[in-house]
Amino acid sequence: MKKFIFALIIGLSLFSCDKYKAKRLSGIYSCTVNFHYFDMTGTTIDTTYTEDLEVKQDNDSIVIFNNKVHVDELRKGATFEKYNGATSSYKVKIYKDELYYFSTNGGLGGSSSIEYIGKKK
């Protein structure tokens, strides 16, 4: 019984730490945005601008543009990367109140990418 209670306390404290970290990572980040687009008709867009990006908390995860990342994936400055099939992917890194987010989409007719680099407000 004592082992069960000990394991329960350890498990709850680890879960609580993850929720705390997700809360700490969530918030508004002031970002420089680099957007690139091209298609087979010759249309090309290359632009840079500033924008505030909201990182939301969902229990022990963060959510950026409907992409959910568990905080364990971001420990000690690690970069989380996910591929959604052959044509799209995204990367997330948050370390010391700095955010890096990169997303790319493409197909046979063209491609686009967007990159957010910013600091927490």
Domains observed in the chain: 2-120 (2.40.128)
State the pLDDT confidence band at 12, using cuts at 50, 70 and 90.
very low
Q: What is the mean pLDDT of the chain?
A: 86
pLDDT, residue 17, reads 65
104 pLDDT band, cuts 50/70/90, is: very high
Q: How far is CA 61 from the centre of its chain?
A: 10
Structure tokens at 121: 């407000």
The pLDDT of residue 13 is above 60: no
Is residue 54 a contact partner of residue 65, using CB atoms and an 8 Å limit? no
Residue-level length of the chain: 121
pTM (2 decimals)?
0.81
What is the amino acid identity at position 114? I
CB neighbourhood size of 20 (10 A): 12
Alpha carbons 73 and 56: distance in angstroms, whole number: 16
